Amino acid sequence: MNIGQAARQSGLSAKMIRYYESIGLLKAAHRTDSGYRIYGTDDLHTLAFIKRSRDLGFSLEEVGKLLTLWQDRQRASADVKTLARQHIDELNQKIRELAELRDTLQDLVEHCHGDHRPDCPILKELASGCCKS
């Protein structure tokens, strides 16, 4: 199938497929005599793997490691589990950071009168980080 068909079936854009190929996540596609990329079933499986990994928030570097582990039939599942646990730790850290941001913003919103007066604690807080020496 051509890149447009592969894109439709994988749920990725043709641009992303070319990008994944350029960084080595996807092996170089076979080419027709006129230079068009041709993809097969194995390529679609790899693209689906990449897409699902990215949907779960894995970085491109982590996806590369996961692909290597997936393609290595001699690998230990403990290696995969370790990588997944590290990703969970990173997600939990991001969740904590986002919760702190939400709580700070919620506090600011609660202290804003939201009326016709120009005084606004939200803007005051945003401006407070401006020019500290």
Return the pLDDT at 113.
87
| Phi, psi at 30, each rounded to 5° | -65, 155
Using the predicted structure, report yes or no on whether residue 114 has a pLDDT greater than 90. no
Return the pLDDT at 64.
97
Return the pLDDT at 119.
87
pLDDT band per the 50, 70, 90 thresholds, residue 133 = low
Torsion over CA of 9, 15, 17 and 23, rounded to 10 degrees? -170
1-56 CATH fold: Multidrug-efflux Transporter Regulator; Chain: A; Domain 2 (1.10.1660)
Query: pLDDT tens across 32-85, in order?
Result: 999 999 999 999 999 999 999 999 999 999 999 999 999 999 999 999 999 999
Q: Are 64 and 39 in contact (CB under 8 A)?
A: no
Return the pLDDT at 130.
65
High-pLDDT (> 70) share of the chain, %? 97
Using the predicted structure, report yes or no on whether residue 131 has a pLDDT greater than 70. no
3-state secondary structure of 37: strand
How many angstroms separate the CA atoms of 70 and 55, rounded?
A: 17
How many angstroms separate the CA atoms of 74 and 122, rounded?
A: 56
